[in-house]
Structure 1
């Protein structure tokens, strides 16, 4: 029996590592194995930005991968938390009654949804702002090179 609250918290806290996918689908989950790739690339981009500064082109390409992965996992936590008990139990607890307690929304589920909304939207907006700022600064610099 898969618990909706546990899945929502795993998606929020351990989503970039694919923990919620492994919890719901087992070790054969392809998204669970693929999620750490953009996470690792984003962490590498953060390390490059720390070592070479924010003017490093690879860092401003790689850093948003981490932000978008975290935001996507936060969205997944919100979807899990807001799913009706009937739909949850039909999808993840096949054979169980549709009103089984594992699919019910509890206060801890709501806490996961609220925190996922708060942090997910903040990280998403910061990633978008960082990406566009770096892209436009790069375009201005290239325009200056052409005009000289």
Structure 2
């Protein structure tokens, strides 16, 4: 018999370690393909941050790579909120089918609510910052290209 999966722990693992796939490994085991793939966009995004530090903000590859990190973090934050909002019946039916639908691992407590709140705050901020960075750099590039064409 497998150990019951706790909703609060899954919420926090998704928020804190989601970009590395930790929540997927906790919930589905080490055979989960998406869990192994999640570190790829995370690493590419971190490489984009490193490129900005090395080459400056005019580096076009960073415009593509940095949002990968931001979108991965934002998606994991959204998944943490979804896990936290699941009813105990739905949680236990999905992740603890051997338990009673009202069993304790599927219950929501204050730590779950705090995890969802922090996920909402950080996920939204990261998503908006990623979009702002990418769009600003893209439009600045378009203006520069327009100036080159007009000369």
Which TM bucket (shorter chain)? over 0.9
- Look up the match of 2:34: 31
Say which of 113, 121, 124 aligns to 1:121.
Answer: 124
Q: Scaled by the length of structure 2, what TM-score is found?
A: 0.96
Aligned Cα root-mean-square deviation (Å): 0.6
Per-residue deviation, 1:144: 1.1
Alignment of 1:106-145 (within 5 A): 106-145=109-148
The unaligned stretches of length 5 or more in structure 1 are none
Given the alignment, which residue of 72, 78, 83 partners 1:80? Answer: 83
What TM-score do the two structures reach when normalised by structure 1? 0.98
Gaps of 5+ in 2: none
SS for the counterpart of 2:58 is: coil
Structure 2 counterpart of 1:13: 16
Q: Does 1:69 align with 2:72?
A: yes
Counterpart selection for 1:53 from 37, 56, 59: 56
Give the aligned partner of residue 147 of structure 1. Answer: 150
TM-fit CA distance, 1:142: 1.0
- Any idea what SS the aligned residue of 2:122 has? helix
1:26-79 deviation digits (Å, cap 9, x = unpaired):
001111011000000000000000011000111121111101100000000000
Could you list the runs of 4 or more consecutive aligned residues of structure 1 that deviate by over 3 angstroms after TM superposition? Answer: none
Aligned residues: 148
Deviations 1:86-131 (A, max 9, x none): 0000000012110010000011101100000000001111111111
Instruction: Provide the C-alpha distance between the structure 1 equivalents of 2:67 and 2:94, rounded to a whole number of angstroms.
Output: 32
